[in-house]
Amino acid sequence: MERLVLRRSVLLGVPLALAILEIFHPERPNSASEAVEQGVWFMWFHFIQVPLIGLIALAVYLLTDGLEGRAVMVSRWAIGVFAVFFSAYDAAAGIGTGYALRNARGLSAGAQEAIYGAVKDMPVVSLIFGLSVVGTLGWVVALAAAAMALRRAGASLGPFILLILAGVFLMGGHPYPAGTLAFGSFFVAAAWLEFGPGRLSSASQPLRT
């Protein structure tokens, strides 16, 4: 019973928390002063998000718990790539940027402008942007492979479509609305698989797909 509660806390609670959290992602600032004012929340937002990224990776793993096969293996390798690369991107482009902007509070307008100029394009700097691209592709592949494995194991078409959509939506970025749609679709798919008609429980799933 405790294991089931823990499983559903991760499988359902984490994507729902992320879907809601993304609604409050700081908007892109229009000026240095506005960016500096957002700095503290920008930093803490990504502090909160980084561990949730690890937990959503675990949730994807739990989707195929009890299944075996090539699609399952691909999903698990790919979600590992997502967890590593997307977390690194979040830390660099999110926490790093927020920390720099937070420390600019109280400085002169000229100094704030200089710091803002240095960090405003950080999310699209080639190396950091590369982390985002690799991480997001890992998410897409992991969900597509998990959807295929679950479909072959007897899951209905609804969760299959929702998991594919969860992968596609995150390609639009993690802030609202794309991130909310991605993690929200994952939440609905997971709830469907856990509670819907013909659900696949880990105890009843076949061992091969």
In terms of residue numbers, what domain contains 170? 2-195
Please report how the helices 32-63 and 178-195 are oriented relative to each other, as an axis angle in degrees rounded to 10: 20
Domain count along the chain: 1
Q: Residue 179: exposed, middle, or buried by beta-carbon count in 10 A (0-12, 13-18, 19+)?
A: buried
Q: Does residue 203 lie in a domain region?
A: no
The model's pLDDT over 93-112, given as tens digits with 9 standing for 90+, comes to 889 888 888 888 878 888 88
Least confident of 82-86, 118-122, 156-160, 197-201: 197-201
Identify the band that residue 124 occupies on the pLDDT scale cut at 50, 70 and 90: low
The model's pLDDT over 56-65, given as tens digits with 9 standing for 90+, comes to 999 999 999 9
Q: Does residue 116 lie in a domain region?
A: yes
Q: Does residue 179 lie in a domain region?
A: yes
Q: Do the beta carbons of residue 77 and residue 141 sit within 8 Å?
A: no
Dihedrals phi, psi of 24, to nearest 5 degrees: -100, 15
